[in-house]
């Protein structure tokens, strides 16, 4: 639980907690039919749950996120990844809402994943960890919400892969969510998106230190492959405009000799830094599993059946895209919105102007924040959340 020890708008010092939600006697049954236990989940909460348990907002993180969405762990200069959006007086207002933010199943920041110990062997799972789906992620989320005393959420919010989880949640459990916020999301990856992830996975698996996914006990990690995967992915998160403004064709070190294969341009140095810093916080196997989850997500594949399922959905949606996001461009959002509208689901759509590409959902873009704040204020009124 957070303590409001920081300045206005900051949650201050927060704590990550862990809980075992599935056990050998009560395992997580995956879409594949495989059973997984134990399943431990790392999570953070901010704000206070009201007496009726109706003011909860669930945060679903993107591919490389974690439970630490807001506040800080001792260094105010290193806040959570969505600290711009979550906190007192911010769009996800913790003076009004009780916010739940877990690390995903298959992750590497405290929740059971490929790096966890496999029962019966005492060794990390590696690639023996079962493949899972977005629906499986939602099963774990629901169990955590119930553990915290929440049966119906005021809202669930997520960007990119996070938005996929929110959509799946509303489809699978139509009475669970009063509202869903889908930001930079997609209901179906394009061939280009799948291709980017395929190359990233190949970079990891062809690294000489990958060892078939069993690198944990070797003292080696597929660092080259994971660095390359992150560098390539990061290019897709930025827009051409933002890269031009930030780097242009500027040289990193004007005194260095030209015509070499080292790091010459500022953009090269930036991408190298992003790749190397990523090694400190992410596991290569988790990257493989979570990118594959996104590839297979296709809830409207059987459109007639999906439209029937949507008839039962009572969730109202806000769908947000950004005009410079080319990884999940506005067409992804519009395709999603059209299906929801065809089924008679309440949905509001906004395309926001931003120079920052896909990463815009993590940044302080004023119109984006106003849109989220206004939507959640309406949700609070409809759900009876006290001011």
144-157 pLDDT per residue, tens: 999 999 999 999 99
Is residue 297 within 8 A of residue 188, CB to CB? The reply is yes
Average of per-residue pLDDT across 174-178: 96
Average confidence (pLDDT) over 118-130: 96
**What predicted TM-score, i.e. pTM, was given to this entire model?**
0.95
**Domains of the chain, earliest start first:** 17-188+297-383 (3.40.50.1820), 193-291 (1.10.1740.110)
Residue 74 neighbours by CB under 8 Å, 6+ apart: 13
Q: Of 66, 329, 358, 359, which is the active-site residue?
A: 358
pLDDT (average), residues 358-371? 97
Neighbour count for residue 262 (Cβ, 10 Å): 9
The number of residues in the chain equals 387
20 Cβ contact partners less than 8 Å away, ≥ 6 residues apart:
38, 39, 40, 41
What is the tens place of the pLDDT at every residue in 308-354? 999 999 999 999 999 999 999 999 999 999 999 999 999 999 999 99
- On the question of pLDDT at 9 being above 80, the answer is no
358 in active site:
yes
Does residue 325 carry a catalytic annotation? yes
Contact yes or no for 43/102 (Cβ under 8 A)? yes
| Rounded CA separation 12/2 (Å) | 7
225-262 confidence digits (pLDDT tens): 999 999 999 999 999 999 999 899 888 777 777 777 87
Mean per-residue pLDDT of the chain: 95
- List the structure tokens of 218: 């070797």
Q: Is 160 tagged catalytic?
A: yes
Which residue among the candidates 160, 197, 239, 286 is catalytic per the annotation?
160
For residues 301 and 119, give the distance between their C-alpha atoms in angstroms, rounded to a whole number: 36
The residues, any chain, with a CB within 8 Å of residue 109's CB and separated by 6 or more, are 42, 66, 67, 68, 103, 281
Residue tagged active-site, from 83, 176, 325, 359 = 325
């Amino acid at each position: 639980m957070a303590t409001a020890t920081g300045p206005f708008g900051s949650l201050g010092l927060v704590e990550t907690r862990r809980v075992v939600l599935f056990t050998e006697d009560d395992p997580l049954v995956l879409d594949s039919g495989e059973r997984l236990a134990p399943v431990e989940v790392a999570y953070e909460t901010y704000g206070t749950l009201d007496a009726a348990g109706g003011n909860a907002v669930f945060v679903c993180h993107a591919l490389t996120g974690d439970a630490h969405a807001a506040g800080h762990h001792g260094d105010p200069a290193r806040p959570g990844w969505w600290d711009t959006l979550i906190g007192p007086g911010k769009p996800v207002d913790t003076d009004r809402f009780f916010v739940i933010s877990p690390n995903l199943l298959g992750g590497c920041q405290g929740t059971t994943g490929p790096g966890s110990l496999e029962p019966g062997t005492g060794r990390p799972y590696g690639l023996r960890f079962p493949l899972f789906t977005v629906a499986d992620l939602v099963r774990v989320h629901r169990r955590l919400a119930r553990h915290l005393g929440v049966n119906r959420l005021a809202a669930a919010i997520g960007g990119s892969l996070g938005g996929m989880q929110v959509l799946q949640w509303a489809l699978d459990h139509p009475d669970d969510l009063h509202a869903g916020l889908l930001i930079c999301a997609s209901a179906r990856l394009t061939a280009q998106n799948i291709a980017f992830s395929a190359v990233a996975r190949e970079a990891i698996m062809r690294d000489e230190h990958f060892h078939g996914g069993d690198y944990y006990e070797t003292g080696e990690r597929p660092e080259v492959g994971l660095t390359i995967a992150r560098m390539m992915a990061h290019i897709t998160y930025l827009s051409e405009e933002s890269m031009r403004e930030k780097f242009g064709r500027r040289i990193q070190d004007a005194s260095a000799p030209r015509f070499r294969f080292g790091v010459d341009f500022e953009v090269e140095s930036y991408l190298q830094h992003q790749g190397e810093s990523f090694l400190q916080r992410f596991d290569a196997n988790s990257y493989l599993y979570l990118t594959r989850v996104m590839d297979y997500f296709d809830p409207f594949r059987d459109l007639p059946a999906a439209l029937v399922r949507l008839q039962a959905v009572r969730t109202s949606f806000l769908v947000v895209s950004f005009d410079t996001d080319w990884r999940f461009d506005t067409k992804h959002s519009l395709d999603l919105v059209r299906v929801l509208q065809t089924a008679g689901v309440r949905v509001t759509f906004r395309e926001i102007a931003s120079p920052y590409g896909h990463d815009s959902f993590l940044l302080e873009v004023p119109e984006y924040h106003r849109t989220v704040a206004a939507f959640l204020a309406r949700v609070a009124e409809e759900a009876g959340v006290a001011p």
